[in-house]
Amino acid sequence: MWRVNTLGFAILGLLARRPLSGYRVAQLMREPIGFFWNAGHAQIHGTLRKLVEAGWAEYRTEPGPGPHDKKLYSATAAGRAALAEWAASPLPTPQPHDELLLRVYNGWLADPAAMREMLTAELERREASLAHYLTVRAEFEADGTPEDPTTQRFVDYATVLNGIGSERYVLDWLRWLIGTLRD
Amino acid sequence: MWRVNTLGFAILGLLARRPLSGYRVAQLMREPIGFFWNAGHAQIHGTLRKLVEAGWAEYRTEPGPGPHDKKLYSATAAGRAALAEWAASPLPTPQPHDELLLRVYNGWLADPAAMREMLTAELERREASLAHYLTVRAEFEADGTPEDPTTQRFVDYATVLNGIGSERYVLDWLRWLIGTLRD
DNA sequence: AGATCCATGTAAACCGTTACATGATTAT
DNA sequence: ATAATCATGTAACGGTTTACATGGATCT
């Protein structure tokens, strides 16, 4: 039987919250989840099939638009239990892939003006991202700061706070770096 | 001809600094580069072969221990030029894969005590990592803070500062999160 | 004597991206 | 009329991991 991979748990985490079509999973994989995980629809459909084979998800069919039926997936009790155990199990050592740092590491060879341009574009992208996180945080706090770590609302809030911290430190670092590239 | 991927540039960045065997590349891919990129030796040998085919790297053979000859790779002039251009070219939108955040996102289902344990282990790992970065920074600054962005010494320093900032914000966030899991 | 380091390679399996393929419903 | 959205799938290719395979030199 298939050894469920991290993407499997990412998808199961969405199905554990509410039943979804593969198409909706792909959307959520862009918008709230996209800040820490992502996958395209081709990969998602295959993984959903494997989750069903593993007995961790099930679906009911509805007549959908287009040539294929719509499938509404949800997590089974076994799937939820496996997800709950996985969430708190020891983390594997991370294998980072940060292209920005790789660019900077090789930046001593590059034209400083071109480097400054690339970094400024990245700065602007991340300023927009921070602004978005701050809006979301404000919406959370307007309804009362979440406090119970066993609620969906709390964990959503926690990931947003992480996003804010993450963008803030990179922005500081980028501003310092761009400053060293002044002529 | 092969479209050089990000790993190709990661390896080329090491070869642009000094000639290396594939084995040494694999070592460096763990230790200083491992904080922002990584790959196993199987992938590295294949990519080195492709870099040579592309005319961006070359090697001279030396009798090595074991059944195969040792190959000392270095970047060609064309390779260096391509690397310099790539370093400052626009960044693709990043596709994050952060398992820690995925765990937290599903943590509402998990046992809070188990969650606290996993997060505490991660906290300790990252405290050690921060301590390491701080030592490296102190060594840099003892010899005078690097200031010229067109030197290897400066870009190495810049990546270490990034590491410090990155670990510090996650540590703050982890301490807050673990605090909410007190019983 | 045994473990670790240096050193390179192949093969199979799996993961991930891109392109191709179809087609109804709804909004502009 | 045209575009976007909803909806699912396959095929080909390329990237990544894991296991297998070999063997000298050096350290404990």
* Residue B1 belongs to a domain: no
- Domain endpoint, select from B88, B118, B146: B88
Please report, rounded to a whole number, the percentage of residues in chain A having pLDDT higher than 70. 100
Q: What is the pLDDT of residues A160-179, one digit of tens each?
A: 999 999 999 999 999 999 99
**Which residues fall within 8 angstroms of residue A6, CB to CB, at 6 or more apart?**
A37, B97, B99, B102
* 3-class state of residue B151 by DSSP: coil
Provide the shortest C-alpha distance from residue A67 to chain B (in Å).
Answer: 31
* 3-class state of residue A172 by DSSP: helix
* Residue B51 belongs to a domain: yes
Query: Which of A63-72, A97-106, B12-21, B115-124 bottoms out in mean pLDDT, i.e. has the lowest?
Result: A63-72
* Residue A121 belongs to a domain: yes
Across residues B32-55, what is the average pLDDT? 97
* Residue A94 belongs to a domain: no
How far, in Å, CA of B38 to CA of A102, rounded?
A: 11
The minimal CB distance from B177 to the residues A10, A84, A158 is found for A158
Provide the shortest C-alpha distance from residue B64 to chain A (in Å).
Answer: 30
Q: State how many domains chain A has.
A: 2
A142 touches chain B (CB under 8 A): no
Instruction: Kindly determine whether residue A109 and residue B80, on different chains, have CB atoms separated by under 8 Å.
Output: yes
What was the pLDDT predicted at B68?
82
Same domain, A59 and A81: yes
* Residue A1 belongs to a domain: no
What was the pLDDT predicted at A63?
83
Q: By residue range, what is the domain housing residue B172? A: 99-180
Question: Of A73, A67, A65, which Cα lies nearest the Cα of A44?
Answer: A73
Task: Look at residue A14 and tell me whether its pLDDT is greater than 80.
Answer: yes
Spanning CA of A79 to C1' of D20, the rounded length in angstroms is: 35
Cβ < 7 Å from strand C, B residues 13-52 = 21-24, 26-27, 41-42, 45-46, 48-49
User: Do B21 and B62 form a contact (C-beta atoms < 8 A)?
Assistant: no
- Return positions of chain D under 7 A from a protein CB: 6-12, 14-19, 22-25
Residue A119: Cβ within 10 Å count: 21
Please report, rounded to a whole number, the percentage of residues in chain A having pLDDT higher than 90. 93
Confidence at A1, pLDDT banded by 50, 70, 90: confident
User: Do B133 and B164 form a contact (C-beta atoms < 8 A)?
Assistant: yes
Same domain, A82 and A108: no
What was the pLDDT predicted at A64?
72
